[in-house]
Amino acid sequence: MKIALFASGTGSNVRNIIKHFEKNKNVEIASVFSNKANAGALLHAIEAGIPTYVFSNQELTDVDSVYKIIEKQELDLIVLAGFLLKIPKLFISKFEGKIINLHPSLLPKFGGKGMYGTHVHRAVLAANELETGITIHYVNENYDKGAIIKQFKIDLTESDNLEAVQEKIKWLEKTYFPITIEELTNKL
């Protein structure tokens, strides 16, 4: 089973996923892709000896250049781990049912365009939610609307601020994202 990770940022989830699968003989993190040449996610991949690829927004939209690399790698799954660009419809059609995403809320709440990172957490706090969580879902042509694979919840308290919510979400991501990917690979 070969997986590619797509990330735009510091790469805490990329690092965690790489570490989780480093001794798994059935799953290979084959590559890490980013739309940002300075993404920390690329450094985690390089440290682990995993090939990295940087592409422009236009190259992703045009699909062919990124698709050719992925096709050559014969990937089974693409995992969006902090990837902030919308995946083009043509790209999704080429990998139907093989692209998953992690969203830092309990979808369908607090999803959609512009809802990522602290934007989500601020919206959760402003709505006085009693719980929050993460959603792992398939990617389709609409932001955060793909079929839900799994959700994990955590309670919120009145004293929780932005930093507390971020820490709770990071804990959920670290704990549950890699094992959910592993469960999914066992079913493919």
Q: Provide the annotated active-site residues.
A: 103
Rounded CA-CA distance 71/82 in Å is 22
Burial of 81 (0-12, 13-18, 19+ CB in 10 A): buried
Look at strands 28-34 and 52-54 and give their pairing.
parallel
Q: Say which amino acid occupies 124.
A: V
